[in-house]
Amino acid sequence: MPRFIDVHPMKGLDGALIRKLQNTLAGEFRVTHLNIMYNPEVDQCYCLIDASTMEAVQKHHDKLGIKWDYVS
């Protein structure tokens, strides 16, 4: 399974929700969070994830209402 990292603002996210997302099983887009690193002081969140495609990563975030800045 390919591995991706994405970057986005934390807008609407807090530590509790991030922990919940990290422990959620792969859903509709088969995206699995391996690690989520975040820093509220600079309003940045970094997700290390396994997914079949970059498009799956983007759709996953779009469905959650999270505007991503960068996916690689």
For the entire predicted model, the pTM comes to 0.78
Closest CA to 35 of 46, 51, 24, 20: 46
Determine the pLDDT at residue 13.
80
**Digits of tens for pLDDT over the chain (72 positions)?**
899 999 988 887 877 877 777 777 667 888 888 888 888 889 899 999 999 999 999 998 888 888 888 889
Q: Which residue has the tokens 């996916």?
A: 71
The alpha carbon of 1 is separated from its chain's Cα centroid by a whole number of angstroms, namely 16
User: What tokens were used for 60?
Assistant: 């996953």
Q: What is the phi/psi pair of residue 67, to 5°?
A: -80, 115
Confidence at residue 2, expressed as pLDDT on a 0 to 100 scale: 93
CATH 3.30.70.3090 fits 3-71, yes or no: yes
Alpha-carbon gap, residue 38 to 40, rounded angstroms = 6
